[in-house]
Chains A and B, each alone.
Chain A
Amino acid sequence: MGLTTIDWVIMAVYFAFVLGIGAALKRYMKTSTDFFLAGRSIPAWVCGLAFISANLGAQEVIGMGASGAKYGILTSHFYWIGAIPAMVFVGVFMMPFYYGSRARSVPEYLRLRFDEKTRGLNAVSFATMTIFSSGISMYAMAKLIQTLHILDAPFRGLGLPQAWIFDTGIIVSALVVLTYIYLGGLTSAIYNEVLQFFLIVAGFIPLVWLGLKNVGGWSGLKASLGPSYVHSWVGMGSPHTNRLGVEWFGLTMGLGFVLSFGYWCTDFLVVQRAMAADSMASARRTPLIAAVPKMLFPFLVILPGLIAIALPTQPPPVMNGPQGSAIAAPAGRGLIPAKLDATTGQPVLDNNGHPQLDYDLAVPNLLLRYFPTGILGLGLTALLASFMSGMAGNVTAFNTVWTHDIYEPYIRPNAGDAHYLMMGRLATIFGIALSIAGAYLATRFNNIMDMLQLVFAFVNAPLFATFLLGMFWKRATGHGAFIGLLSGTLAAAVHHALTIPVDAIPGVKGGWLRVLHTYPSEMAQNFWTAIFAWTTCFLVTILVSLVTKAPEESRLVGLVYSLTERPQEGHLSWYKRPAYLGVAILGATALLNLIFR
């Protein structure tokens, strides 16, 4: 790869700014509110961009490009169905309770609304999840630096072994994120997320522009890829007539309702950005402002995947075999190479004996294909920025939940504010240390990560039912919520144990008790697992609530819809009113669906 001085200078300037922002904010971190909630003083547009950027980690930038190459424009369902409606809902309906209750975190809201045990359950599972997500982000970044050979030349120059590149990637990224969060807390994370947002956009627009120009625009893509790649709704009537292998009901209910609302409406990682807003009106506008770029992101992150697969296939690269002999790798498709096993170097085959494609390289290869030195530095900076914002989002969510929802109630109650501020800083350090451990765990045991993500999916799937009933049904009780959540998780596990995607072997993919039903794709199985979990949690919470003692209404003021005054917004101009904004965003999203149907 032809990196020259200018690329290195661009990356160095980026690191200098990221750390500089942390240093500049250090003197404002006086209380725990400054550190954990940015002093509740951030303007709406900044919160909005941080809201979307915290979610714009590696999984999104690399993963959505990969899905674009694999599934085509159908991937846009993860945005237009799987994000926008939930973002509008959390802004218009749920934010008044999160922000208005003065809770400092999502688990703390659960304590105010339900009880201690529901909060504890949510806090512990959430904290564990953030650690592993940030570890996975770190792992993905170090892996990418290794795969793209970014650091090979400088390491040779310095006489360092190439084997250290992976470790260097992990340690440097961890230290940078640690420094800027340790210094400036949530404000620093949010400010850097906004900077990262603009850098990601600035790095990806020229990529899409050059790529589209080369393949002859949208019509060129259509012509070379065929209809199954360029329609998002045609063929959704049956799982066998579209690339996702899911039918419209599983898609809209599983992804569009359960998974999407469960993530965008209850995940503290994103909700924390809105809680930092300077007023109730700003907090409610945060997810709505975020929805506007989110709506357009498919063009930035999915299109590169389609372009990468539409380009003429490169001749198979020649690699060095075990004894230095040259062996030809199996052909990929477009810019996407065949997947090679990390340990043996042999191509990975699917169940039918065909070589699998390494879709995760769609976006990086496109970057290397079109960007000459100079702008290549900007493109790589955009990738680095995305990895770091994803990591930092998890770290700030972790230090807050650890300090307010685990340390303060269970380990050391009633210590002074200065003590909790210090604990927040300490939590940043050991949170990152644990993430590093997670990253190395991922290198050692690939299956452990698959299993953990599965467990998280089981824990997360029912959550939205608990919040929906908590916020909109005053009769829901703490026992109901707790037992409902546990049953929902159990239902997810049981459903997973009894079903399997077609062509899979029973085990981590499902069917580990016995196989009662076979799904046409893994995605269909995931969506239906979520639907079962949500429905179980919803029904069990209602049943248990009805047989347990109703909570006192006076305690629920400000926490439940029917007992809370509507936020006053008569003084706001129309374009700042959440309801109007929400309708406009939903209208625009419907239009996009119609255009790309």
Chain B
Amino acid sequence: MGLDIRLPIGMIFTIFGIMLIVFGVFSNPSLYAQSLGINVNLIWGVVLLVFGAIMLFLGARGMFGKRSTTANPQGREPRH
């Protein structure tokens, strides 16, 4: 259906990841008394960014990569 869903998912998670990392680095540490002293914004931002980057990579490979091998990795079986 034209659009590979992994691209928008990758984009939104990358944006969220970067936002949380930047906020986590510059925010007041006293904010994290609530989250047991863990800078949960920074840590979870990194996780989201990594996930977003993986989805972007897979989505870009699926949409723009070599059609013969990776155009539609799930749709290789013949239709019934």
Question: Which A residues have a C-beta under 8 Å from some C-beta of B?
Answer: 6, 9-10, 13-14, 17, 20-21, 24-25, 27-28, 38-39, 41-46, 100, 187, 191, 194-195, 198-199, 202, 206, 210, 213-214, 278-282, 369-375, 378, 567, 571-572, 576
Asked if residues B1 and A279 are in contact (CB atoms below 8 Å), the reply is: no
- The complex places the Cα of A389 from the Cα of B17 at a distance, in Å, of 23
Asked if residues A370 and B34 are in contact (CB atoms below 8 Å), the reply is: yes
Asked if residues B27 and A374 are in contact (CB atoms below 8 Å), the reply is: yes
Inter-chain contacts of A371 with B (CB < 8 A): 34-35, 40
Asked if residues B40 and A210 are in contact (CB atoms below 8 Å), the reply is: yes
Instruction: Report B34-58 CB contacts with A as 1/0, cut-off 8 Å.
Output: 1110101100100010010000000
Asked if B8 is an interface residue, CB under 8 A from chain A, the answer is yes
Asked if residues B44 and A375 are in contact (CB atoms below 8 Å), the reply is: yes
Asked if residues B20 and A279 are in contact (CB atoms below 8 Å), the reply is: no
Asked if residues B80 and A373 are in contact (CB atoms below 8 Å), the reply is: no
- The complex places the Cα of A209 from the Cα of B77 at a distance, in Å, of 40
Question: Which B residues have a C-beta under 8 Å from some C-beta of A?
Answer: 1-3, 5, 8-9, 11-13, 15-16, 19-20, 23-24, 27, 31-32, 34-36, 38, 40-41, 44, 48, 51, 72-75, 77-80
Inter-chain contacts of A13 with B (CB < 8 A): 12, 15-16
Inter-chain contacts of B2 with A (CB < 8 A): 25, 27-28
Asked if residues A187 and B1 are in contact (CB atoms below 8 Å), the reply is: yes
Which residue in B40, B48, B80 is a CB contact (below 8 Å) of A100? B80
- The complex places the Cα of A206 from the Cα of B3 at a distance, in Å, of 30
- The complex places the Cα of A279 from the Cα of B74 at a distance, in Å, of 10
Which residue in A9, A24, A202, A571 is a CB contact (below 8 Å) of B48? A202
Give the most central of A10, A17, A43: most B CB within 10 Å: A43
With A25-B1, A374-B27, A375-B20 in contact, do A195 and B9 touch (Cβ < 8 Å)?
yes
Asked if residues A373 and B40 are in contact (CB atoms below 8 Å), the reply is: no
Inter-chain contacts of A198 with B (CB < 8 A): 9, 13, 51
With A25-B3, A278-B74 in contact, do A206 and B44 touch (Cβ < 8 Å)?
yes
Q: How far is the CB of A129 from chain B (nearest CB, A)?
A: 28
Inter-chain contacts of B27 with A (CB < 8 A): 372, 374
Which residue in B35, B48, B75, B78 is a CB contact (below 8 Å) of A210? B35
Q: In this complex, what residue of B is CB-closest to A276?
A: B1
- The complex places the Cα of A371 from the Cα of B34 at a distance, in Å, of 7
Q: How far is the CB of B61 from chain A (nearest CB, A)?
A: 14
Asked if residues A214 and B36 are in contact (CB atoms below 8 Å), the reply is: yes
Q: In this complex, what residue of B is CB-closest to A213?
A: B36
Q: In this complex, what residue of B is CB-closest to A27?
A: B2
Q: In this complex, what residue of A is CB-closest to B28?
A: A372
- The complex places the Cα of A167 from the Cα of B80 at a distance, in Å, of 48
- The complex places the Cα of A17 from the Cα of B74 at a distance, in Å, of 24
Asked if residues A372 and B40 are in contact (CB atoms below 8 Å), the reply is: yes
Asked if residues B77 and A41 are in contact (CB atoms below 8 Å), the reply is: no
Asked if residues B23 and A278 are in contact (CB atoms below 8 Å), the reply is: no
Asked if residues B40 and A206 are in contact (CB atoms below 8 Å), the reply is: yes
Inter-chain contacts of B51 with A (CB < 8 A): 198, 202
Asked if residues B38 and A210 are in contact (CB atoms below 8 Å), the reply is: yes
Which 10 A-B pairs give the minimum distances between C-beta atoms?
A43-B74, A280-B80, A374-B41, A372-B31, A374-B23, A191-B5, A278-B75, A281-B77, A17-B12, A372-B34
- The complex places the Cα of A371 from the Cα of B40 at a distance, in Å, of 8
Q: How far is the CB of B75 from chain A (nearest CB, A)?
A: 5
Asked if residues B19 and A43 are in contact (CB atoms below 8 Å), the reply is: no
Inter-chain contacts of A282 with B (CB < 8 A): 74-75, 77
- The complex places the Cα of A287 from the Cα of B4 at a distance, in Å, of 21
Inter-chain contacts of A278 with B (CB < 8 A): 74-75, 79
Give the most central of B5, B72, B75: most A CB within 10 Å: B5
Which residue in A187, A281, A369, A372 is a CB contact (below 8 Å) of B41? A372
Inter-chain contacts of B16 with A (CB < 8 A): 10, 13, 202, 378
Inter-chain contacts of B5 with A (CB < 8 A): 21, 46, 191, 194-195
- The complex places the Cα of A62 from the Cα of B32 at a distance, in Å, of 25
With A25-B1, A38-B1, A195-B5 in contact, do A279 and B35 touch (Cβ < 8 Å)?
no
Which residue in B24, B31, B80 is a CB contact (below 8 Å) of A567? B80
- The complex places the Cα of A369 from the Cα of B35 at a distance, in Å, of 8
Q: How far is the CB of A146 from chain B (nearest CB, A)?
A: 23
Which residue in B8, B36, B38 is a CB contact (below 8 Å) of A17? B8
Asked if residues A42 and B35 are in contact (CB atoms below 8 Å), the reply is: no
Q: How far is the CB of A182 from chain B (nearest CB, A)?
A: 17
Q: How far is the CB of B28 from chain A (nearest CB, A)?
A: 10
Asked if residues B1 and A39 are in contact (CB atoms below 8 Å), the reply is: yes
Q: How far is the CB of A365 from chain B (nearest CB, A)?
A: 13
- The complex places the Cα of A44 from the Cα of B3 at a distance, in Å, of 15
25 of the cross-chain contacts (CB-CB < 8 Å) are A9-B19, A13-B12, A17-B11, A24-B3, A25-B2, A41-B1, A41-B75, A42-B1, A43-B73, A198-B51, A202-B16, A206-B44, A278-B79, A279-B78, A280-B80, A281-B80, A370-B35, A372-B27, A372-B35, A374-B20, A374-B23, A374-B40, A375-B20, A375-B40, A378-B16
Q: In this complex, what residue of B is CB-closest to A370?
A: B35
Q: How far is the CB of B78 from chain A (nearest CB, A)?
A: 7
Q: In this complex, what residue of B is CB-closest to A201?
A: B51
Q: How far is the CB of A284 from chain B (nearest CB, A)?
A: 10
Give the most central of B9, B12, B19, B79: most A CB within 10 Å: B12
Asked if residues B75 and A43 are in contact (CB atoms below 8 Å), the reply is: yes
- The complex places the Cα of A38 from the Cα of B75 at a distance, in Å, of 15
17 extra A-B contacts, CB within 8 A, seeds A187-B1, A372-B32:
A6-B19, A14-B12, A24-B3, A25-B3, A45-B74, A46-B5, A198-B9, A198-B13, A202-B16, A210-B35, A279-B79, A370-B34, A372-B41, A374-B40, A375-B20, A378-B20, A572-B77
With A17-B11, A282-B74, A372-B41 in contact, do A6 and B23 touch (Cβ < 8 Å)?
yes
- The complex places the Cα of A6 from the Cα of B20 at a distance, in Å, of 9
Inter-chain contacts of B3 with A (CB < 8 A): 21, 24-25, 28, 191
- The complex places the Cα of A17 from the Cα of B36 at a distance, in Å, of 32
Asked if residues A20 and B34 are in contact (CB atoms below 8 Å), the reply is: no
Q: How far is the CB of B38 from chain A (nearest CB, A)?
A: 7
- The complex places the Cα of A191 from the Cα of B40 at a distance, in Å, of 28
Inter-chain contacts of A28 with B (CB < 8 A): 1-3
